[in-house]
């Protein structure tokens, strides 16, 4: 029988401006323009450019990562419904960590990581990738490139995302239903988790990491 153990609740309940990082998160913002705050356990991210929030603690699999996220559309300057994205088990090749980057999307090409982008490109694509640590190369299988309306974001509605790294089983679930799956013969078994968006306004809550070890 599988024993699940919640390793961490990754959003504190404290309020405040987190643009320069927090004890839990390291923020990389393209052009330094993102506004990130935490209020009552909800991360609010508003950014006219790319931004990644890295959970500071390295994860070791098998794990699952759960969180709720909302793409906000309320007339604000960054309230485009787009890019609910994430990296998990991310690292620089040959290391167990990753070096700081500037927040621009292309700067992450050299990672070894799993990546999902829901409602990317102004809510027209939903994609899953396994990055292979080579700059300029973002492999994309045809079955992992979705463009159907039902695979996009609905504004102002909470969505539950689950990311799984369980040995060779790599998966993404959305609202309890399978979204992407990969059987990886050479899986990434440890690394960092990052929340990612660009030119949008997101709210994130209930972020947890759960060990799937027997």
Q: What percent of the chain has pLDDT over 90?
A: 85
pLDDT at 4 exceeding the cut of 50: no
Query: What's the whole-model pTM score?
Result: 0.91
pLDDT band at 140 (very low <50, low <70, confident <90, very high): very high
pLDDT band at 150 (very low <50, low <70, confident <90, very high): very high
Query: At CA 117, angle to CA 123 and CA 125, rounded to 5?
Result: 40
pLDDT at 20 exceeding the cut of 90: no
**pLDDT for res 97:** 87
* pLDDT, tens digit, 9 for 90 and up, residues 43-102: 999 999 999 999 999 999 999 999 999 999 999 999 999 999 999 999 999 998 899 999
Q: Which CATH architecture has domain 5-211?
A: Sandwich (2.60)
pLDDT band at 3 (very low <50, low <70, confident <90, very high): very low
CA nearest neighbour of 21 among 7, 37, 6, 33: 37
pLDDT band at 21 (very low <50, low <70, confident <90, very high): low
> Across-strand partners of 54?
26, 194
* pLDDT, tens digit, 9 for 90 and up, residues 164-212: 999 999 999 999 999 999 999 999 999 999 999 999 999 999 999 999 9
pLDDT at 142 exceeding the cut of 80: yes
pLDDT band at 127 (very low <50, low <70, confident <90, very high): very high
> Which one is predicted more confidently, 23 or 16?
23
pLDDT band at 213 (very low <50, low <70, confident <90, very high): confident
């Amino acid at each position: 029988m599988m024993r699940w153990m919640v390793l961490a609740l990754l959003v504190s309940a404290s309020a405040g401006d987190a643009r320069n990082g927090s004890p839990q998160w390291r923020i990389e913002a393209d052009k330094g323009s993102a506004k990130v705050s935490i209020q009552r356990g909800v991360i609010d991210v508003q950014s006219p450019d790319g931004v990644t929030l890295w959970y500071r603690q390295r994860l070791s699999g098998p794990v699952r990562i759960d969180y709720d996220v909302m793409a906000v559309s309320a007339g604000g300057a960054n309230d485009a419904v787009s890019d609910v994205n994430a990296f998990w088990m991310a690292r620089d090749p040959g290391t167990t960590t990753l070096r700081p980057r500037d927040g621009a999307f292309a700067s992450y090409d050299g990672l070894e990581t799993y990546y999902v982008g829901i409602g990317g490109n102004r809510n027209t694509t939903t994609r899953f990738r396994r990055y292979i640590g080579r700059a300029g190369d973002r492999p994309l299988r045809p079955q992992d490139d979705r463009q159907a309306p039902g695979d996009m974001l609905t504004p102002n509605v909470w969505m539950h995302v689950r990311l799984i790294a369980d040995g060779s089983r790599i998966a993404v679930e959305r609202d309890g239903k399978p979204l992407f799956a990969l059987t990886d013969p050479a899986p990434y078994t440890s690394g960092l988790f990052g929340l990612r968006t660009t030119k949008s306004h997101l709210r994130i809550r209930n972020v947890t990491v759960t060990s799937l070890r027997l």
